[in-house]
Amino acid sequence: MKSNSTGEQKLDPPLSPPLKEGKRGVNPFTSPGYVVDKKIIEILGRYIDIINEYKSKINIVGKLDYSDIYNKLLVPSIIATQLIDKKCLLDVGSGAGICGITIKLVRNSISIVLCERNNKKIAFLHEVVNKLSIKNVKIIPCGLEDISTKDLDCVEELLIRGIKLVNIYGLLMKKFPRGTDIIYFGSKNDLAGQGCDLIDSIPIPGYEDRRDPLFVFHLKLN
């Protein structure tokens, strides 16, 4: 453990993907034996520092501390990179960018479109992108229902986290063709009756003992 300037306890630098074969779904920040990319470790830490700086000003991650931001927010997004094979992703309802920004930092070769309607969160996303000098990130200041066809031209895959699939499925069917790939964070109950084909899934560590465990799902819109 390390302490920052405010005395808050920080985790030792996390270990980052690629994950070893047969280790899918484990916590890459705490499990031994993974390939360590020091640049990824450093930039993820800087990202969390920016979150900590702003969380008292706007509600982006609630009252989560440094450790919780690592384990509850970033870990599932890092695990999701194991299911991503597309080059341009749309993060639906980006918020603080926990999904889209984290995945972009780990997989620098992809392009990310961040879709967010809240002005304070939009300003925060711009701050993160500028401070971390992240390239190939486009921030769209609106909700998914208002996003233009032009802004969706490059999109090959959707990231959906923190939004129930049942609340957005009809809109997805209007905006995207059948067969569109989706990375969805949620439970198996969320998929019931939603007409998506399940391609693959990875359990999210720390939630295995819940009555309704959480997963990262690779789906196809159908």
Where do the domains of the chain lie, and which CATH numbers do they carry? 2-221 (3.40.50.150)
Separation of alpha carbons 67 and 137, rounded Å: 26
**92, pLDDT greater than 90:** yes
Query: Could you give the angle at the alpha carbon of 117 between the alpha carbons of 143 and 214, nearest 5°?
Result: 75
Length of the chain as a residue count: 222
**33, pLDDT greater than 50:** no
- Residue 89 pairs in a beta bridge with 112, 157
pLDDT digits (tens, 9 = 90+) for 176-204: 999 999 999 999 999 988 889 999 999 98
What distance, in Å, lies between the first and last C-alpha atoms of the chain? 46
pLDDT digits (tens, 9 = 90+) for 136-168: 999 999 999 999 999 998 999 999 999 999 999
* Phi, psi at 78, each rounded to 5°: -65, -40
Q: What confidence tier does 60 reach under pLDDT thresholds 50, 70, 90?
A: confident
- Mean pLDDT over residues 53-69, rounded? 85
Per the model's pLDDT, the better-predicted residue between 11 and 101 turns out to be: 101
- Mean pLDDT over residues 39-61, rounded? 88
Tokens (6 digits) for 134: 């992240």
Separation of alpha carbons 208 and 6, rounded Å: 33
Q: Which helix (H) or strand (E) segment is 88 a member of?
A: strand 88-92
Check residue 22 and give its pLDDT: 38
pTM: 0.84
| Strands annotated E in 100-171 | 111-115, 137-140, 157-160
